[in-house]
Structure 1
Amino acid sequence: MSRATALRYWLLPLMFAVPATAAQAIDLPTRKPGLWELKMQRPGSAGDDVSMQHCTDETTDKKMTAAVQPMATESCSKQDLQKTATGYTNDTVCKIAGMTTTSHAEITGDFNSAYTVKVTSQNENPLPGVPKTTSMTLDGKWLGPCKDGQKPGDIVMPGGIKMNIADMEKLKALVPKK
């Protein structure tokens, strides 16, 4: 899997899980500081499962949310985050590169040891190779303190590709334009 593909898979679920504006009354909790393993599964998509590790702290999680919010605000006409008895839901309608995606995300877990984000999406005018209906599950698991030499924001992607979330501006260039 190429770096660009891995980054797109990393970025899109964030858009569906993060509130669209800082003024929204409900905020997702920040994750416990340390090293998190993130596993993304897309049922029915051979070879598209992605696993990565992310070293984070409270400041980094807040910066990551702040970096994604403008993209979500620009691309999404609806972002409705709600607190539920078991976690959160987020319903979104986003348009990227002429494709309109209506998604429902369920976010559960405690953000201290493990959490799960389940997203189901309906795609109108899907891009070539994109099915009309998609689903994705992101499982986050706290592994412990960050490894020696890691700093908050460091991500290790498939194939050992390393980057820091501070490079989020570079990620924006990977999202197709309208």
Structure 2
Amino acid sequence: MLYHSRILVGTTVGLMLLGGCSGKNDKTGSNATTAAVTPAKITPRTPKPGLWAMTVTAAGMPNPMTMRTCMAATAPGSTSFTPPPQPGQTCAKSSVVPTATGYTIDTECSANGMTMAIQGTVSGDFSTSFRTDLVTRMTGANMPAAAATGTKSSVDAKYLGACPADMKPGESRQG
């Protein structure tokens, strides 16, 4: 179970961070990102650039994990919640849709005989705080059946201020 918790934590934090580091969406090949039509009333929001404290909790984790992450400014037309595809990964769907309170996330990617589907929401003011609630389902030959039922996780993020001089955008540290 500890191994699966680590995968989940990595996935949760990865969704939060990798998209912010990339500054763009990959819209080519089988890793196409679903472009959502944004109603005129909804202006997509992204986390304020700077240092964020992110506390990750998930089923199967004995204690919450806190990380400090230096977030970069998000490139126009992208979100901080769209991770770039990883080498060898094929994504059947990768959708991040703006809502009145944040975003909905719906992804399904496969690699190395394992498929991971993630659904959830991101909400907050994105200047002082935001929260991500996800359900992750994993299937594959080496995955226990319980992984397919879904594991809930959340990230509570609080803005701390400017990034310290010794941290680069996209860098995270535990604690």
TM class, shorter-chain normalised?
0.5 to 0.7
Deviates more, 1:15-24 or 1:110-119: 15-24
**Structure 2 residue matching 1:108: 3-state secondary structure:** strand
**Structure 2 residue matching 1:68: 3-state secondary structure:** coil
Offset, 1:57: 3.1
1:166 alignment partner in structure 2: none
1:53 alignment partner in structure 2: 68
Offset, 1:135: 1.4
1:32 alignment partner in structure 2: 48
**Structure 2 residue matching 1:123: 3-state secondary structure:** strand
Tell me which amino acid in the other structure corresponds to 1:83.
Answer: P
1:42 alignment partner in structure 2: 58
Runs of 4+ displaced beyond 6 Å: 15-19
Name stretches of at least 5 consecutive residues in structure 1 with no aligned partner: 159-178
Name stretches of at least 5 consecutive residues in structure 2 with no aligned partner: 28-32
- The root-mean-square deviation of aligned C-alpha atoms, in Å, is 4.1
Question: d(CA) in 2 for partners of 1:43 and 1:24?
Answer: 31
Offset, 1:36: 0.5
Offset, 1:65: 5.5
Residue deviations 1:6-45 (CA, integer Å, cap 9, x gap):
9835325657999663783569633212210011111233
Matched, 1:150 2:161: no
Matched, 1:100 2:115: yes
**How many corresponding residue pairs?**
154
Residue 40 and residue 126 in structure 1: after superposition, are their counterparts in 2 closer, same or farther (change >3 A)? farther
Q: In 2, are the aligned partners of 1:79 and 1:91 still within 8 Å (CA)?
A: yes
2:101 alignment partner in structure 1: 86
Out of 129, 144, 162, the residue aligned to residue 114 of structure 1 is 129
Question: d(CA) in 2 for partners of 1:86 and 1:8?
Answer: 25
Offset, 1:124: 2.1
Q: In 2, are the aligned partners of 1:15 and 1:72 still within 8 Å (CA)?
A: no
Which TM-score applies when normalising by structure 2?
0.65
Q: In 2, are the aligned partners of 1:15 and 1:71 still within 8 Å (CA)?
A: no
